[in-house]
Amino acid sequence: MQNHTSATVSQQFNSLANVALLTEHARKRMEQRGVKEDALKLTLQFGRKIYSRRALFYVIGHKEIKKHCEQYSRLKSLEGLQVVVDVESQKNLTVYRSHDLRQIRPKKRKHCHLH
């Protein structure tokens, strides 16, 4: 049980360390969209993780709000916030707000038609 706890703490630390690893694009988008650094930290800490297209998406949706809202009432205002992190470099690529999680799905491969 202690291993699980230490793993959880190290995962949270790694997620919070990602705040410092913002690309210039991500910083610009945060400023344009009015996303504060504490909102980014909460998203990285409590957001659902979705792997898609060689990136890791952290998403605050209905389930995360329902699960953690009693402890962190601010999550309600973050609904739909998505943070995209590059899997290899661990840098935050961009931050945006969207309630449509279907956009995160991996792109289907198109069949090559030879005529």
At residue 21, φ and ψ (nearest 5 deg) are -95, 55
Q: What angle in degrees, to the nearest 10, is found between the helix axes of 37-46 and 2-17?
A: 150
Q: Give the tens place of pLDDT for each residue, 64-103.
A: 888 887 887 888 889 889 999 988 888 888 898 887 776 7
- Using CA atoms, how far apart are residues 58 and 56, in angstroms rounded to an integer? 7
Q: What is the pTM of this model?
A: 0.71
Q: What is the mean pLDDT of the chain?
A: 77
Q: Is 35 helix (H, G, I), strand (E, B) or coil?
A: coil
What are the extents of the domains in the chain? 2-100
- Helices assigned H by DSSP within 1-115: 2-17, 24-33, 37-46, 62-68
